Amino acid sequence: MKSPILASSLLIVDSITTTLLMSSKASTASATLTLRILRKKHWCLLKRVKNMLKKDRLKFNFFLAVPQEGSISKEELQKLLDPAVYKIGCSQAAKNKWVQMGNQISRKVQHVEDRVKDLLLQIQDGQELGKDDNNSLKARKLTALQTWKGYSVKRGPEYAPRRRRTATDLTREHLQGGDWRNIEFKEYNFSAKGPPPESGHLHPLNKVKERIKNIFRLMNFEEMPTNRYVESSFWNFDALFQPQQHPARDSHDTFFLKAPATTKQLPEDYVETVKRVHESGGYGSRGYGYEWKREEANKNLLRTHTTAISSRMLYALAQHAKQQSFTPKKYFSIDRVFRNEAVDRTHLAEFHQIEGLVCDRGLTLGHLIGVLQDFFSRLGMDKLKFKPAYNPYTEPSMEIFSYHEGLKKWVEIGNSGMFRPEMLRPMGFSEDVNVIAWGLSLERPTMILYGINNIRDLFGHKVDLGLIKKNPLCLIGIK
Ligand SMILES: *[C@@H]1O[C@H](CO)[C@@H](O)[C@H](O)[C@H]1NC(C)=O
Ligand SMILES: *[C@@H]1O[C@H](CO)[C@@H](O)[C@H](O)[C@H]1NC(C)=O
């Protein structure tokens, strides 16, 4: 197809215009080049139609070769015509009932005319048609309107074959040499912004962690010292009345240490009591009825939950109560824990656990629900639901669900419960002291708040530093 007629002064080579465009942008605001984008609409034939026209032309040429009067023999015609014209033309012309085929070929009609074909040929030659013709051809899906785009590039008032460098500063050399008189200075741009200052950036996890810490502090909770990643199985499991055969204590779930493989010291009196409760119970419990092994308790591991710290803190509190008097406590911690898990988009082998606990006399499940309502509403989660659950060291236990306004459904946000007497009494607490506690991961709320779907984009070696630089100041609240 021919291109539509162009003004000869126009450049239409796309690649040239783009480079010119870029260089004109790079220069100052005064125009070294003027650029106009040109658009022109024209009708063009669809590919299918083009093929059809080609066949048509063959058919027509075939027809013209047949004499107006009388007839012509096949062989003679074949000699006269191009093989393609003969082959396609003869079948098409016969189909259209223009000619009588046989050994002798003669015209059936004297004159053939195809208006549509004529119009299409006109379009193909770049001629313009009337409105009705334009529309009828389009309606018959023979033509389509195409937009031709081109650029007009001309020299601007500031055109120069080489880029001029304008001075940005008046220097000593300018003054000494005296050329300051003739130099062209770059105009000052008072709205120009300076380069962004280099500064540190907080990771989203740290921001959310800080907000949650503040919530705990506002609720008068004390932070527990969690700076201890390596823990003994005793504090991580046994003190929590978690039996030694429990699957969580398998190396498939927990990272055990090779060196040092075992802990050096444990409070022996307490260890004895824990052993007895595991083996035969006490305090209204029958225990697990198995032979408790000290070697199992000595094994060092990477803590699987911060509750290992809670058990140390509660033990210390009970000891203090025995020696002096019982002081009610509200504790919290937010720190890293480790699980031997297959890594996927929602799981890592390490994550942060948020934990809160209250130790006081006469606490009930009602207190737990009340504290949870208070805590989570400060995080923007007002609608809570609780579901009974099982945990080895809490009874009763509840999973916590929050209604997610964005997802329009209930999502699980944490776990909670009251520590069992089998855990608290061996520590030395009296019967009327209870502990309510809850836990959740830090990653999950952070991912929801920052709209991150893959945990590996949030934490670990694949994290994009740009994300950390660009992320907004944290605003807690479920969207
Ligand atoms: C038909 O289309 C051509 C574009 O190829 C246009 O220039 C012309 O004005 C149209 N005719 C009418 C009457 O709209
Ligand atoms: C001046 O700086 C502003 C902000 O960076 C920019 O938008 C504007 O185009 C500049 N003006 C000139 C004349 O360069």
- The CATH number that applies at residue 223 is 3.30.930.10
CA-wise closest residue to 455 among 354, 301, 355, 342: 342
**Cα–Cα distance between 74 and 401 in angstroms, integer?**
90
Binding site membership of 29 for ligand 2 (Cβ less than 6 Å): yes
**Cα–Cα distance between 380 and 13 in angstroms, integer?**
59
Least confident range of 33-47, 107-121, 259-273, 342-356 = 107-121
Contact of 348 with 341, CB cutoff 8 Å: yes
Distance 155 CA to ligand 2 centre (A): 23
Q: How many domains does the chain have?
A: 2
| Residue owning the nearest CA to atom 13 of ligand 1 | 131
**Cα–Cα distance between 281 and 293 in angstroms, integer?**
15
Most confident of 140-154, 173-187, 354-368: 354-368
**Cα–Cα distance between 74 and 5 in angstroms, integer?**
44
Query: Residue 62 is inside which H or E element, if any?
Result: helix 47-65
* Statement to judge: residues 341 and 243 lie in one domain: yes
Contact of 6 with 150, CB cutoff 8 Å: yes
Residue 136 lies in a domain: yes
Rounded to whole angstroms, the maximal C-alpha distance in the chain is 134
> Does residue 396 have a cis bond before it (omega within 30 degrees)?
yes
pLDDT band of residue 51 (cuts 50, 70, 90) is confident
What is residue 169's DSSP assignment?
A: S
Q: What is the mean pLDDT of residues 296-320?
A: 96
Report the pLDDT value the prediction gives residue 475, as an integer from 0 to 100: 57
Look at the alpha carbons of 59, 65, 66, 67 in this order and tell me if their dihedral is positive or negative: positive
In terms of pLDDT, which residue wins out, 472 or 88?
Answer: 88
Most confident of 127-136, 182-191, 209-218: 209-218
Which residue from 39, 120, 128 has its CB within 8 A of the most atoms of ligand 1, so it is best to mutate? 128
| Nearest atom (ligand 2) to Cα of 192 | 2
| Nearest atom (ligand 1) to Cα of 41 | 4
* Statement to judge: residues 315 and 402 lie in one domain: yes
Report the pLDDT value the prediction gives residue 296, as an integer from 0 to 100: 94
| Spatial strand order in the sheet of 329-338 | 222-223, 329-338, 350-361, 433-441, 409-419, 394-404, 384-391
* Statement to judge: residues 333 and 421 lie in one domain: yes
* Statement to judge: residues 120 and 258 lie in one domain: no
Report the pLDDT value the prediction gives residue 218, as an integer from 0 to 100: 95
* Statement to judge: residues 121 and 211 lie in one domain: no
In terms of pLDDT, which residue wins out, 144 or 326?
Answer: 326
Domain final residue pick, 96, 117, 142: 142
Q: What is the mean pLDDT of residues 320-330?
A: 93
pLDDT at 406 over 50: yes
pLDDT at 105 over 60: yes
Residue 374 lies in a domain: yes
- The closest ligand to the CA of 28 turns out to be 2
* Statement to judge: residues 209 and 131 lie in one domain: no
| Nearest atom (ligand 2) to Cα of 187 | 13
Report the pLDDT value the prediction gives residue 30, as an integer from 0 to 100: 52
Binding site membership of 323 for ligand 2 (Cβ less than 6 Å): no
371's tokens: 């504290």
CA-wise closest residue to 442 among 251, 220, 205: 205
* Statement to judge: residues 137 and 273 lie in one domain: no
Q: What is the mean pLDDT of residues 339-345?
A: 86
Report the pLDDT value the prediction gives residue 440, as an integer from 0 to 100: 93
Distance 37 CA to ligand 1 centre (A): 21
To the nearest whole percent, how much of the chain has pLDDT over 90? 42
pLDDT at 462 over 60: yes
Domain final residue pick, 117, 142, 167: 142
Which residue from 120, 122, 131, 132 has its CB within 8 A of the most atoms of ligand 1, so it is best to mutate? 131
* Statement to judge: residues 249 and 336 lie in one domain: yes
* Statement to judge: residues 456 and 347 lie in one domain: yes
Report the pLDDT value the prediction gives residue 351, as an integer from 0 to 100: 92
- The closest ligand to the CA of 30 turns out to be 2
Residue 108 lies in a domain: yes
Average pLDDT, the chain: 84
Look at the alpha carbons of 158, 159, 160, 162 in this order and tell me if their dihedral is positive or negative: positive
pLDDT at 368 over 80: yes
What is residue 69's DSSP assignment?
A: S
Residue 2 lies in a domain: no
Which residue from 28, 189, 190, 193 has its CB within 8 A of the most atoms of ligand 2, so it is best to mutate? 189
pTM above 0.85, yes or no: no
pLDDT band of residue 242 (cuts 50, 70, 90) is very high
Residue 226 lies in a domain: yes
Report the pLDDT value the prediction gives residue 92, as an integer from 0 to 100: 77
CA-wise closest residue to 247 among 83, 392, 430: 392
pLDDT at 17 over 70: no
Least confident range of 146-155, 278-287, 297-306, 316-325 = 146-155
CA-wise closest residue to 467 among 445, 441, 447, 442: 447
> Per-residue pLDDT tens for 266-293?
999 999 999 999 999 999 899 999 999 9
456's tokens: 């590996």
Report the pLDDT value the prediction gives residue 27, as an integer from 0 to 100: 39
Residue 185 lies in a domain: no
Query: Residue 116 is inside which H or E element, if any?
Result: helix 115-124
To the nearest whole percent, how much of the chain has pLDDT over 70? 92
In terms of pLDDT, which residue wins out, 211 or 331?
Answer: 331
Domain final residue pick, 142, 169, 190: 142
Report the pLDDT value the prediction gives residue 1, as an integer from 0 to 100: 36
* Statement to judge: residues 119 and 225 lie in one domain: no
pLDDT band of residue 382 (cuts 50, 70, 90) is confident
Q: Give the residue ranges of DSSP H helices in 140-252.
A: 172-177, 204-218, 233-236
pLDDT at 202 over 70: yes
Residue 129 lies in a domain: yes
Distances (CA, A) of 147 to 9, 369, 387, 428, 478: 20, 68, 64, 87, 48
Report the pLDDT value the prediction gives residue 360, as an integer from 0 to 100: 97
Report the pLDDT value the prediction gives residue 10, as an integer from 0 to 100: 35
* Count of alpha carbons within 13 angstroms of residue 82, beta-carbon side: 10
* Statement to judge: residues 134 and 264 lie in one domain: no
Report the pLDDT value the prediction gives residue 372, as an integer from 0 to 100: 95
* Statement to judge: residues 87 and 209 lie in one domain: no
- The closest ligand to the CA of 194 turns out to be 2
Report the pLDDT value the prediction gives residue 50, as an integer from 0 to 100: 79
pLDDT at 2 over 50: no
pLDDT band of residue 130 (cuts 50, 70, 90) is confident
Range of the domain at 95: 47-142
Task: Specify whether the backbone of 123 is left (phi greater than 0), alpha (psi in -120 to 50) or beta.
Answer: alpha
Distance 26 CA to ligand 2 centre (A): 13
Residue 153 lies in a domain: no
Report the pLDDT value the prediction gives residue 472, as an integer from 0 to 100: 67
**Cα–Cα distance between 408 and 242 in angstroms, integer?**
37
- The closest ligand to the CA of 190 turns out to be 2
Question: Which amino acid would we find at residue 474?
Answer: C
- Pocket residues for ligand 1 (CB within 6 Å)? 41-43, 128-131, 134
pLDDT band of residue 4 (cuts 50, 70, 90) is very low
